[in-house]
A and B are shown apart, each in its own frame.
Chain A
């Protein structure tokens, strides 16, 4: 009688474990969302991709949740080694092969990111999921709408600080203007950087004495809103609603007669844009 009870208990317990195991493997197999992950993507899927590629030794960069060039080459190498089509896209086949070949300790990775620690996720000889804590790269703390990513995409050649400085200027100069008007003002700043007759840097153009009223009266130091930042980003990414203008002015308040002699391109909101 006692023996029977014991067997039942054992059976029960093992079933429980089995169930747990099944649940766990299911979880790892379906960890990635169904999206195809490609260059430029941001978010939790990218963190998992980087962590798994690092586990296998393909990726040596920081696990930061931004699919940049480092991730791209790591993924291509992985695809090459595992006989997949080499396209640099993490599609279904690639993700399946990757999940089979590697392990991903999501809790550990997320925790490290949350705590802002430097960490890596290399697969060791030990089959348990402990990762070695080598110092590599940086990761910052905090929450954002990008999942747990600790980095952001920036246009080639620009830093977040450049964008911020421009957003400050745009906000100070054109905060009551329609969105296109703000993009156009940002575009004028960039056109001046390109132009031979103006300073060659964003800061040089913005701080050129008497170039922008917002700089002269200190309005540039108002905190810009998200719209201004988005407008700047659009301008940097190539949008130029101003029509390649290098001057603009408000006809109601312009004091200089000279500005009226510039060939005018168009009017957006209150500003006239000119060559």
Chain B
């Protein structure tokens, strides 16, 4: 009797475990499928969008009237950005697919540049039309390759999860069809960039340009250490470690660092001229003793002693026990937004904890003073009449195309919001409008 009961109990147990196991398996499958579906969607979206892209560029070539061309270019720009975001969702990770991404980015930038300008006044030049034709052909080739990959995936029911596994295992057995397909696409694009030459009219983001205005002579290792010991406040030079930057650096630097129990410091000095590009000191900060205003004066003094002339505070904020200050170069009543630097001050004893002057040294140069072509009042008329203008400055900013332009800067309020508005001082164009925030309810309280 007991034996039968035991058998029954065990049998129920086995069935129960089996059922549970089955359910777990189902759930795992469901999750896997969902992940797979996300990849599939991104992939199919990508092929579709590259296809549409090709079509749109094709029709843009055929357009004659500017009223149509501008929106078309904007449309192309939008699609490239979507296609790029699709690439970002695929588990390609370290697979070299960046050339294709760059190619897409180039199309985007080209179309953006041409779309934002007034094509009536300045229609597409012959060179630009040629560039567009080239982009059309090349996007066509990418489209074909991608469609091929898509076809094999669909026919053989290939799964992106396998791609991920293959890449993750990295056993050099990467004979995965999808991966191979993408490699072919990449190779094609590589060919474009080698032969294409003038197709990429873009010079990338603004920060990418060289430090062409750095002044001074090449600094020796020894001099760099001397300068660093002064800037970091470490008297004993033996405690400092110094290294040189590699080939990829925008400007060659000496990196000097020190480390003791509580405190660590790091400094990048440009090898040319020995200018401090980045300074960071990290240490525990005691109870706040000085006000933000005092800290600001310490920062101003610090800049003066380190030969940063004509800097004015543009923003100040207290983060915990740290005061952070942004400064702008201000010469002859014009604020230069590209020549910005930041200083970080400890609020316990007013020590300078950080300086970043990368933007400053990248852009700073003695510029000739330019006079605005329109008056302040004319510029004010370009501002939305609902905005109550409170402060006005002359400022030089980088516009959408990365060029420096002289603008009138207005700080104004509308309702409870504050806006910073830049109006081009030559033609009255609205260059930039920004809603200013800067604080937020502290979610961590309560």
Contact = CB atoms under 8 A, between A and B. Distances in A.
B293 A209 contact: no
A152 B439 contact: yes
A38 B317 CA distance: 9
B342 A160 contact: no
B101 interface: yes
Interface stretch (B135-143, B232-240, B253-261): B253-261
A161 B444 CA distance: 10
Interface stretch (B26-34, B53-61, B80-88, B212-220): B80-88
A86 B12 CA distance: 84
Given A140-B442, A153-B439, A264-B246, A61 B416 contact: yes
Contacts of A38: 292-293, 296, 316
B279 to A, nearest CB: 9
B240 to A, nearest CB: 14
A156 B438 contact: yes
A238 B324 CA distance: 11
Interface string B280-295: 1010000010011110
Interface residues of A, number: 83
Contacts of B246: 263-267
A153 B280 contact: no
A151 B437 CA distance: 12
Given A196-B109, A258-B94, A238 B441 contact: no
Interface in A11-59: 33, 35-43
Interface string B348-391: 00000010101100000000000000000000000000000010
B154 interface: no
Contacts of B114: none
Contacts of B195: none
Contacts of B168: 210
Contacts of A234: 280, 344, 354
Contacts of B445: 140-144, 150
A153 B317 contact: yes
Contacts of A41: 291-293, 316, 318
Q: A interface, by DSSP: helix, strand, loop or mixed?
A: loop
What class of interface size applies to chain B in its complex with A? Answer: 35 or more
A183 B446 contact: no
B343 to A, nearest CB: 10
B442 A208 contact: no
A108 to B, nearest CB: 19
A149 B442 contact: yes
A135 interface: no
Contact of A259 (B94, B291, B294, B416): B94
B320 A237 contact: no
B324 A237 contact: yes
Interface string B92-116: 1111101001100100110000000
Contacts of B94: 210, 256, 258-259
Interface string B224-252: 00000000000000000001011111100
A244 interface: yes
A8 interface: no
A123 interface: no
A73 B446 contact: no
Contacts of B84: 196-197, 199
Interface string B403-446: 00000000001001010000000000000001011111111111
A138 to B, nearest CB: 6
Contacts of A151: 439-442
5 contacts: A70-B418, A196-B105, A238-B326, A255-B170, A264-B246
Given A36-B291, A39-B315, A145-B320, 12 more contacts: A37-B293, A40-B318, A140-B445, A149-B442, A155-B317, A155-B438, A156-B437, A160-B440, A180-B266, A208-B89, A243-B250, A265-B246
Interface of A: 33, 35-43, 60-61, 64, 66, 68-70, 73, 76, 89, 116, 138, 140-146, 149-157, 159-161, 178-180, 183, 194-200, 204, 208-211, 227, 230, 233-234, 237-241, 243-245, 255-256, 258-259, 262-268, 273-275
